A and B are shown apart, each in its own frame.
Chain A
């Protein structure tokens, strides 16, 4: 008897359990992000983070309670703010949230019947004639909206899974034989790019180790196991060997709205050395790394980790009298970059702002 009552209870109140399940997952994701950022947990690549974020957003769309597009966007924005606050340097999370918001807007617009084009382009004429705030408040309810949004998010997920392969497929167009290519640190995208080219061409790779984390070592062992001639150099030798390098191919953590990069520290030096020797600098970055941030905010741009990496505690006597800095990222201005290779092809840095308007809606730049 009691069991039947319980069953009845379950079927009449599906909400709270699903919600707690959802909040649990969000909390788990948040704590994972926080841990991953401090360097103690397993370092996850950006692609993984992007996929998990999108999966989480899909779950939110499916399980949370909302009746109109506006509600959904509010929920996503609220959760998004919490998630980005957990690990501000992990920009792919924010990027995915903005992509999903744009998907919601598009699906809403399609359901309403208006074409996408006129809504997207805020032409001067529209601004003048609309006379004030946008009249969209996304209040209408559409039954099929949920299904459409989830389908679009699934497409996004498929796109995410194929980014590395898409970039790697372009490798043969950019690498000729007997080249000397330089890279810094460890980027999974660049690794796949180079391995793909190595199947058909023979070339030499120089990896700068990128102290203090020395991720370049991992990259070098992985590349040399694939049969590529690799050399590991110390960071200090970047300028010294640059005169023999034909191309510099790097990955990045984020691509900023002005076409600049936020990449691992040491990249700015590498870019300056490449510019001095007129060596092309190619950045392999999938589209989910493009972020609508600008590099103006000095205090939020840099991220620091424990100075123990730079000056260990064994130097006890002088530790207390010395300031030690260990920044993780570097800003690389767009003038030093020659080409961006992404999953949708190659672009010049001056074109990045246009791509941004295709991926994100201007109102979502600030979550």
Chain B
């Protein structure tokens, strides 16, 4: 497989060079449009080299970088060469040739993080389900990595035909051979836990992922003639594909994976295997400690200043961070009561309710449709986040934006608590373009012995939509509490920039 991969990589390089030569010739008769296409393609191709690149180009947790240049090349080759104003075209062609030769000369242009580059974000596969080319490529990649492809289930609402929709009753592990030779058993177990919803919540998923990777590293041995820094990264790629097939990766998981890959590739080649493994394990532990546990403590400390005696606090669903804050505040003997808002079909609020009641906090419990009844009593709203996007939008469990909206209408302050490792460079303005579709059968409910939607698949014009995430606009959120301090929603890109400079 390794040789095959190297061969493929060489092929791609060849193709790219051929393409550049072809374009030089073709650009004699081509339009302006082609030039614009050229630049991003050549910028993307070198960027897809080893991940030591500063990861400003990588958006969401990505599949292997190999498919992308391939996807760009057919697109360009198909473009018909039109003849327009020849003089203009020739001038452009000359510029083109210069630019192409410059690009070919510098093999790995390092993009300094302070420059404003035209950043090309590779669109992750899981939001391109309606593109058959992308699906075919994914299938080929998975075949190469020997991971089964998970099939979509049920009728998908047309607005979401670009997303996957899986059934919980058909986990990926059923299609795997036992024992799996390619995938580490810890990862298989993790994948199953994700797809069945046993491990849920972005912090829990990240921590579980990191622990599984620790196990993988412990069991890893470097094959002869290989370097640990390169080989281990390649070993992790099929695992990541498998996990993203089980359930699309979250932003926090994506950042964790980026960190691990960076750490692995920074291992010097003369390092002995035992020492390298120890170093990696301690890095992972350090990451968990710093980014999750200590961050939670810091956030709790800042948030407790915001909770006063006699407060009525509204929380939504089960956020581990918000629960932690409330328990800490209760330890400090602040007198407050909590209203837990819950929603179908996940009903995660019940878990939060159990944890809070166990601590002795007095709680009220309602469903999300009753939120406008209960809001006049509320003094503050605390929300957890799944990710914070670069344009200030908060991506969180579906229903969060609704609560923020109604709270705004009643003039109740909304505070979002989020660790910095969940900050993400993506931008998004609505909940459609990138989301996760959960099993539609979850919406079916039996009341008084009758299940109305039992045979929804038989009715052709009926669809069930079970969204997992939604985005909250920044004008609904009054404050974001992070481990770096209390910032407004719009300062997220500032924090990202600071973090990138540090790295």
Instruction: State the A residues within 8 Å of B (CB).
Output: 206, 209-214, 217-218, 220-221, 224-225, 227-241, 243-244, 265-266, 268-269, 272-273, 276, 302, 310-311, 315, 317-318, 321-327, 330-331
A325→B350 CA distance, assembly (Å): 14
Q: Residue B365 contacts which of A206, A243, A323 (CB distance < 8 angstroms)?
A: A323
Asked whether A324 lies within 8 Å of B467 as measured between CB atoms, the reply is: no
Shortest distance between the CB of B260 and any CB in chain A (Å): 32
Is B373 touching A325 in the complex (CB atoms < 8 A)? yes
Which residue on B lies nearest to A321, using beta carbons?
B357
* A281 CB, min distance to chain B CBs, angstroms: 14
A334 to B447, CA, bound (A): 33
Mask: chain B, 203-225; 1 = CB below 8 Å from A; 0 = not: 00000000000000000000000
Question: Count of B residues near A, CB < 8 Å?
Answer: 49
CB-CB under 8 A for A237 and B369, given A272-B405, A322-B357: no
Contact partner, B432, options A244, A302, A327, Cβ 8 Å: A244
Contact A311 B461, beta carbon cutoff 8 Å: no
Q: Which residues of B contact A237 (CB under 8 A)?
A: 398-399, 465, 467, 470
Known: A265-B369, A272-B409. A234 touches B461 (CB 8 A): no
Asked if residues B344 and A217 are in contact (CB atoms below 8 Å), the reply is: no
CB distance from B298 to the nearest CB of A (A): 30
Known: A212-B344, A272-B405. 7 other contacts (CB 8 A): A211-B367, A217-B445, A236-B343, A269-B372, A321-B363, A322-B357, A325-B374
A-B contact pairs, 28 of them (CB 8 A): A211-B369, A214-B447, A214-B452, A217-B453, A221-B453, A221-B459, A221-B462, A230-B461, A230-B462, A231-B465, A232-B453, A232-B456, A233-B465, A235-B344, A235-B368, A235-B369, A235-B399, A236-B368, A237-B399, A237-B467, A240-B431, A244-B432, A268-B372, A310-B365, A322-B364, A324-B364, A325-B373, A326-B366
* Contact status B370-A327, CB under 8 Å: yes
Nearest-Cβ distance from residue A265 to partner chain B, whole angstroms: 5
- Decide if B367 touches A310 in the complex (CB within 8 Å): yes
B490 at interface by CB-CB < 8 Å: no
Q: Which residues of chain A are near B465, meaning CB under 8 Å?
A: 206, 231-233, 237, 241
B350 near A315 (CB under 8 angstroms)? yes
Question: Which residue numbers of B lie inside 8 Å of A, CB to CB?
Answer: 157, 159, 343-345, 350, 353-354, 357, 362-374, 397-399, 401-402, 405-406, 409, 430-432, 443, 445, 447, 452-453, 456, 459, 461-467, 470-471
A224 contacts B159, C-beta separation under 8 Å:
no
Provide the residues of chain A in CB contact with B447, threshold 8 Å.
Answer: 213-214
Known contacts A229-B461, A302-B373, A326-B370, A269 near B344 by CB under 8 Å: no
Contacts of A326 in B (CB 8 A): 366-367, 370
Q: How far is the CA of A326 from the CA of B409 in the complex (A)?
A: 22
Do B373 and A221 touch (CB < 8 A)? no
Complex contact B459–A234 (CB within 8 A): no
Which 3 pairs between the two chains have the least Cβ-Cβ distance?
A: A236-B399, A266-B369, A217-B452
Least Cβ distance of B344 to chain A in Å? 5
Please give, as numbers and ranges, the residues of chain B lying within 8 Å of A265 by CB-CB distance: 369-370, 372-373
Q: Are B405 and A273 in contact (CB under 8 A)?
A: yes
List A contacts of B345 (CB < 8 A).
Answer: 234
Give every chain A residue within 8 A of B405 (Cβ-Cβ). 239, 269, 272-273, 276
CA distance A237 to B432 in the complex (A): 11
Chain A hits for B357, CB < 8 A: 318, 321-322
Contacts of A209 in B (CB 8 A): 344, 443
A302 CA / B445 CA spacing, docked (Å): 26
CA distance A217 to B353 in the complex (A): 27
User: Closest approach, in angstroms, between the C-beta of A8 and any C-beta of chain B?
Assistant: 54
Instruction: Report whether B402 and A236 are in contact in the complex, using a CB–CB cutoff of 8 Å.
Output: yes
Q: Is the CB of A269 within 8 A of B371?
A: yes
In the bound complex, how far is the Cα of B430 from the Cα of A240, in angstroms?
7
B370 in contact with A325 (CB, 8 Å): yes
**Chain B nearest CB: distance from A195 CB in Å?**
13
Residues on A with beta carbons closer than 8 Å to the beta carbon of B463: 229-232
Quick check: A325 and B452 within 8 Å, CB to CB?
Answer: no
Cβ contacts under 8 Å, A236 to chain B = 343-344, 368, 397-399, 402
CB distance from B360 to the nearest CB of A (A): 9
Contact of A234 among B157, B344, B452 (CB under 8 A): B344
- Residues from chain B with Cβ under 8 Å of A268 in the complex: 372, 406
Instruction: Tell whether, in the assembled complex, residue B372 and residue A330 are in contact, meaning their CB atoms are under 8 Å apart.
Output: yes
Q: Give B359 Cβ to nearest chain A Cβ, in Å.
A: 11
Cβ contacts under 8 Å, B374 to chain A: 325
Docked pose: A232 CA to B397 CA in angstroms: 18
A229 partner residues in chain B, CB cutoff 8 A: 461, 463
Nearest-Cβ distance from residue B431 to partner chain A, whole angstroms: 4
A244 to B433, CA, bound (A): 12
A224 to chain B: which residues have CB within 8 Å? 459, 461-462
Q: Are A220 and B462 in contact (CB under 8 A)?
A: yes
Partner among B398, B406, B452 whose Cβ is within 8 Å of the Cβ of A240:
B398
Taking CB atoms, residues of chain B closer than 8 Å to A239 are 401-402, 405, 470
Closest B residue to A230 by CB, please name it.
Answer: B462
- Distance of A163 Cα from B429 Cα, bound (Å): 42
Q: B367 near A235 (CB under 8 angstroms)?
A: yes
The interface residues of chain B lying within 8 Å CB-to-CB of A276 are 405
Determine which of B353, B456, B462 lies in contact with A322 in the assembled complex, contact meaning CB atoms within 8 Å.
B353
The contact of B443 among A232, A311, A323, by CB within 8 Å, is A232
* Structural contact, A322 and B443, CB atoms closer than 8 A: no
Cα A161 to Cα B215 in complex, Å, equals 72
If A239-B401, A269-B402, A325-B370 touch, whether A228 touches B461 (CB-CB below 8 Å) is: yes
With the chains together, A212 CA to B370 CA distance in Å? 10
Closest B residue to A224 using CB positions: B462
Name the A residues within 8 Å of B350 (CB-CB).
Answer: 311, 315
Are B462 and A325 in contact (CB-based, < 8 A)?
no
Q: How far is the CA of A243 from the CA of B406 in the complex (A)?
A: 16
Q: In whole angstroms, how far apart are the Cα atoms of A228 and B459 in the complex?
A: 11
How far does the Cβ of A300 sit from chain B's closest Cβ, in whole Å? Answer: 14
The answer to whether A240 and B467 have CB atoms under 8 Å apart is: yes
Closest Cβ neighbor of B452 among chain A residues: A217
Q: Inside 8 A of B159's CB, which chain A residues have their CB?
A: 241, 244
Chain A residues positioned under 8 Å from B371 (CB to CB): 269
Write out the residue numbers on chain A whose beta carbons fall within 8 Å of the beta carbon of B467. Answer: 233-234, 237, 240-241
Is there contact, CB below 8 Å, between B453 and A273? Answer: no
Docked CA distance A318–B430 (Å): 37
B456 → chain A, closest Cβ, in Å?
Answer: 8
> How many whole Å from A186's CB to the nearest CB in chain B?
10
A234 to chain B, nearest CB (A): 5
Cα separation A234 to B369 with both chains bound (whole Å):
10
Which of chain B's residues have a CB closer than 8 A to the CB of A321? 357, 362-363
Asked if residues B443 and A210 are in contact (CB atoms below 8 Å), the reply is no
Given contacts A211-B367, A272-B405, contact A234 B443 (CB under 8 A): yes
Q: Are A241 and B402 in contact (CB under 8 A)?
A: no
A60: shortest Cβ distance to chain B, in Å?
35
The docked-state distance in angstroms from the alpha carbon of A331 to that of B402 is: 17
